Amino acid sequence: MLRFQVQGSGKAPHSITAEGEGPDFRIFCSCPAGRKGGMFCKQVAALLVGDVTKLIGPTGEMAELARRASGSPRIYP
Ligand SMILES: [Zn+2]
């Protein structure tokens, strides 16, 4: 399980968690849009393209996130 904290539009950061890899890759965000499911929220979308401008804390796990997400038909159909 990978965990990221990202800055949202409000004061409180959002928590993004990712698990599995390839076909089993799943990613969730605690923001209102993320909790609805379906489309990725903007925080998740940014992370998945390697945009770390809203990321709080170390970026060391970004490479691992990209590795796990590659091969996911939900992200790169
Ligand atoms: Zn979000």
Query: How far is the centre of ligand 1, averaged over its atoms, from the C-alpha of 17 (Å)?
Result: 10
Query: How far is the centre of ligand 1, averaged over its atoms, from the C-alpha of 18 (Å)?
Result: 12
**Where does the pLDDT of residue 45 fall: very low under 50, low under 70, confident under 90, or very high at 90 and above?**
very high
Query: How far is the centre of ligand 1, averaged over its atoms, from the C-alpha of 5 (Å)?
Result: 10
Asked whether the predicted pLDDT for residue 39 surpasses 70, the reply is no
Query: How far is the centre of ligand 1, averaged over its atoms, from the C-alpha of 34 (Å)?
Result: 5
The percentage of the chain sitting over the pLDDT mark of 70, rounded to a whole number, equals 91
Torsion sign, CA atoms 54, 56, 62, 66: negative
**Cα 42 to Cα 45: distance, rounded to the nearest angstrom:** 5
Least confident of 9-23, 24-38, 55-69: 24-38
